[in-house]
Structure 1
Amino acid sequence: MKQHRIPAVFMRGGTSKAVVLKRSDLPAEEADWPALFAAILGSPDPHKRQLDGMGGGISSLSKICVIGPSTRPDADIDYTFAQVGVVDETVDFSGNCGNMSSAMGPFAYDEGLVAGPRDGEAVVRIHNTNSGKVIVSRFPVAEGEAEVSGDFAIPGVHGTGAPVALDFLDPSDTFGRGALPSGHPVDRLELSDGRSVRVTMIDAAVPSVFVAAADVGGNTCVHPEEIDADDALMARLEEIRQRASVAMGLTPDRDAAARRIATPKVAMVGPAADYADLSGECHAAATQDLQIRMISAGQAHRAVPITGALALASAALTGETVVAGCVSEGADPLNLRIGTPSGIVTVGATRDPDDGKIASARILRTQRRLMEGQVHVPADRLSPSAPTA
């Protein structure tokens, strides 16, 4: 069986990895993309390993990024993100990946898709087509290539690298229903087990719903594997996610919400507390402002999705939310320290002094190009309209 060959780059962005493709190398019909992307990553795989593809068996390693010319005048490139299911063939385009956003500017620079200095700092304005928002990426370059070596470390990635500063401009209201789609900083959701839980539903960087861990029988100090193994807790969090999806107007009913795996994100939050991260390093409560355990595409995230962290920072800045109730007194909104399974992540958000809206959200990441060449896909996994080469 002939295989389809597509030029591709495999990259790490923050605590995620993805296959990065140019739009010009893909089928013209976007309806052909989902089957192609699932095949590239090796989905569906009931064994949760994606051994027959480039995926890594968990949500943060089951991603596709597509780069093309900008379709709007205030950006340099278009960037489309696809979250691919592991055990099924679901391909969700409804949200962005903040971690992989850090690799998009360097990819475009190294591929010659954007202009920039040969040495110094490159600035790339990225139009994320999933959210309709612009992200400004700033990163060092040397001798015509994006730098990867440096002394900046991020939790969840061993070693250090060159920093990439990401400014998510006007991050709220990615789906046209405002920063608080329900109009309230706190709502109550009635669950099928009889619980009535307080949640904050916010659309900033990515639609998200936050619930206090104590209200759902969870714990923000535990490792992701323990959360994944608690079937009752996972079912409860998925029900919250689905009910929030309907309440936020993202989907018409829970069945549709179940099929939309990328958004809204759902997370448990809690106050700062002593805990040990996945590497065994211990973090004292004084080093944090609050804790988070976020679910991504049906699995407890091993760190935190960056868009989720930015949504958290925005919720902390937005009045009397569930998130604000967990934040330590005196926390700096520009440098909010979040306890995650992989360590402490620092994010920040700012308000527009004139209208009070979230003006921007910022985070620093690292990235690296890992491999380049061609990705191969068996022709029988493709749509009949997709070309083979």
Structure 2
Amino acid sequence: MSLTVKRRLGVISAQLFKARMTRPFGSSSVPNPLPATFLRGGTSKGIFLNKAHLPSERAKWDPIFLGIMGSPDPEHGRQLNGMGGGVSSLSKICVVAEATPEQKAQDIDVEYTFVQVGIRDSSIDYSGNCGNLSSMIGAYALDEGLCSISRGRRHATVRSFNTNTQKIIDTTFPVSETGVPSLNIPEATVAGVPGKTSQIILDFVNPGGARTGKLLPTGNAVDQLEIAVPSLTRTIKVSLVDTTNPTVFVDLNELNDFLPVEGYIQNKSDALQEVGSVLEIIRQEGARRMGLDPSAQAQPKIAMLSAPANTVDSNIVIHALSMGVLHKAVPMTVGLCLGVASKVQGTIPWAIVQASKTSDTDLVRIRHPGGLVDVGAEFGEDGQVKSAKVVRTGRFLMKGHVFW
């Protein structure tokens, strides 16, 4: 093929790409494909979008996000037509924007909205936040030019405002001399992720009452829920805690009294339906007690807790569910919520940790199916949560355009 022909084909391809860059959407046009960045944050991956490239009306976002992720995929649940990976931790989107003048007056650099996209259905959930992807908001915003830092600094701290929970979150991470994120320094590891990369400090500021306005929405450290399960109706103890994300905590041993929980954890088919349906009943009843919508799949989360076999290794063991599926690690907002709840006297997490603590460290070491994570929480003299921190890592995976 001659050089002239190649050049002509290149021009034609560019024209075709430009023609496909917009799709009529009501009275306006939305880029298709959209400028996007694909990122890993902690044990999650997601698409990050600049809010400026989306319709001003949020009601018009849903079909775009479903198209990006390849949802719904009712038959296979693999999202092969999009960027999703067939599990909740890979079906996520973050929409990031420059801070408003009012936010900048409060030293906020950027705002963002987290979106959990359904896999087999068309659900779009804005009710909660993702701690793992939150760890990469600062790096994305800096790379996208939505905020800036002074050159010559070794670390940047970006303060973001999460619109889902109306909370402020700081991320601190290394930067190069020119002020761009430097995420390939061998500093830290995260359970469930291979290799060692730069340490990102994720700090939720005043995280209590993320959805309900109260750390303990019912005012109780432990509540009794009445649930109807096959062949019987019984009560079960739960701790309903709302920080970073509202979570229903239940003692795994109590469930073991009437459910094949061990088989469920081991993914045995005969236990999945039975245990999963009961956990969903408990989650929904917990949501009602917290004043939340029980039909929202993403919020609240539910997690089973137990004492560690080795108290030197960890302080508490968690098996958490996300969108009705047992999580292979722990959703980071749930891990942070557990870290805070472990310091609230009388809760189920507090009782387990008190029995397993072998040192005076302020950190709570949590064992989850993917490994270990240390979580720290700081309380004020008034008993309110001032901060919840955890170490994460992240990586830029792709920057370009995504079709929807």
Asked if 1:287 corresponds to 2:313, the answer is yes
| Paired residue secondary structure (1:191) | strand
Alpha-carbon distance between aligned partners in 2 of 1:158 and 1:332, rounded to the nearest angstrom: 30
Change (3 A) 1:184 1:329: same
- The within-5 A match list for 1:207-286 is 207-217=246-256, 219=261, 223=265, 225-226=267-268, 230-251=272-293, 257-258=294-295, 260-273=296-309, 284-286=310-312
2:122 pairs, out of 67, 70, 89, with: 89
CA distance in 2, matches of 1:131, 1:322: 24
Residue identity in the other structure for 1:325: A
Name structure 1 gaps, 5 residues minimum.
Answer: 252-256, 274-283, 378-389
Distance 1:334 1:369 in 2: 32
The answer as to whether partners of 2:98 and 2:147 remain within 8 angstroms in 1 is no
Deviation string 1:3-51 (CA, Å, 9 cap, x unpaired) is: 6211000000000000000000011110011221111101111212110
- For the residues of structure 2 that align with 1:216 and 1:130, how far apart are their CA atoms? 32
Larger-Rg structure = 2
Give the gaps of 5 or more residues in structure 2.
Answer: 1-18, 24-31
What is the alpha-carbon distance in structure 2 between the residues aligned to residue 228 and residue 116 of structure 1?
Answer: 55
Alpha-carbon distance change, 176 to 366 in structure 1, aligned in 2, over 3 angstroms: same
> 1: CA distance between counterparts of 2:359 and 2:58?
44
Q: Is residue 110–residue 144 contact of structure 1 (8 Å, CA) maintained in 2?
A: no
Letter of the structure 2 residue corresponding to residue 76 of structure 1: D
CA deviations over 1:49-98 (Å, ceiling 9, x no partner): 11000000000000000000224232110010001111111110010000
The corresponding residue for 1:114 is 147
Number of aligned pairs?
360
Task: Between the two structures, name the one with larger relative contact order (CA 8 Å, sep ≥ 6).
Answer: 1
Distance 1:167 1:307 in 2: 11
Q: Which amino acid aligns with 1:83?
A: Q
Deviation of 1:334 after TM superposition, in Å, equals 2.7
Q: What is the match of residue 388 of structure 2?
A: 361
Task: Find the aligned partners of 1:225 and 1:180 in 2 and give their Cα distance.
Answer: 32
Tell me the equivalent position of 1:56.
85
Deviation at 1:344, TM superposition (A): 0.5
- Note if 1:311 corresponds to 2:337: yes
> How far, CA to CA, are the matches of 2:147 and 2:383 in structure 1?
34
Distance, in Å, in 2 between the alignment partners of 1:227 and 1:181 is: 35
SS at match of 2:348: coil
Deviations, residues 114-167 of structure 1 (Å, cap 9, x unaligned): 111334111100101111110111110013321111231110100011011011
SS of the equivalent of 1:159 reads coil
RMSD between aligned alpha carbons?
1.9
How far 1:222 sits from its partner (Å)? 7.6
Structure 1 residues 245 and 222, CA gap change in structure 2 (3 angstroms) = closer
In 2, Cα distance between equivalents of 1:196 and 1:369: 47
Conservation of the 8 A alpha-carbon contact between 2:283 and 2:300: yes
**Amino acid paired to 1:300:** L
Stretch of structure 1 that moved more, 187-196 or 361-370:
187-196
Cα deviation per residue 1:165-212 (whole Å; 9 max; x = unaligned)?
A: 011011001234411111100001111112311000011111111000
Structure 1 residues 222 and 338: alpha-carbon distance in aligned structure 2, compared to 1, 3 A threshold: farther
CA contact (8 A) 1:224 1:302 kept: no
% identical aligned pairs: 41
| 1:349/1:227 CA distance change after superposition, 3 Å | farther
Superposed displacement of residue 286, structure 1: 2.3
Which residue of structure 1 aligns with residue 179 of structure 2?
144
**Would the aligned equivalents of 1:289 and 1:331 in 2 still touch at CA under 8 Å?**
no
Task: Give the alignment's TM-score, normalised by structure 1.
Answer: 0.88
Q: Distance in 2 between matches of 1:363 and 1:98?
A: 9
Secondary structure, counterpart of 2:210 in structure 1: coil
Which residue in 2 is equivalent to 1:374? Answer: 401
